Amino acid sequence: MSIIFDYAAFLLLIAFIVAMARVFIGPDKGDRILSLQLIGTTGAALLLILSDGGRVVGFIESAIVLGLLASITVCVFVFSNKNIIDTTEDE
């Protein structure tokens, strides 16, 4: 791996660790679910970088699945918490 990939993987790992901390200490459910979305996309990016240019096919397929699962998780959270959003109109 080139040095640029190493730096990119390091920065993504830092973002991953910060997002994990936000999941555990997040004050709200919305903050936690957004952190999980960040973890999913960061994990997918890390897997793509670690695949080393497409030579490891399993990492690429795992990155696709991880990205899809992160998106589906957010959709399920939004649809299950419709009552949280206040839809009353101001008078």
Residue 88 predicted with pLDDT over 60? no
Q: Show Cβ contacts of residue 68 under 8 Å, excluding neighbours closer than 6 positions.
A: none
Strands (E) in the chain, as ranges, are none
d(CA 16, CA 41): 9
DSSP 8-class letter at 54? T
pLDDT of residue 86: 55
pLDDT of residue 83: 64
pTM of the model: 0.76
pLDDT of residue 85: 57
- How does pLDDT run across 8-39, given as a tens digit for each residue? 889 999 999 999 999 888 788 888 888 889 99
Task: Choose among 44, 45, 40: nearest CA to 71.
Answer: 40
Torsion angles phi and psi, residue 77, rounded to 5: -65, -45
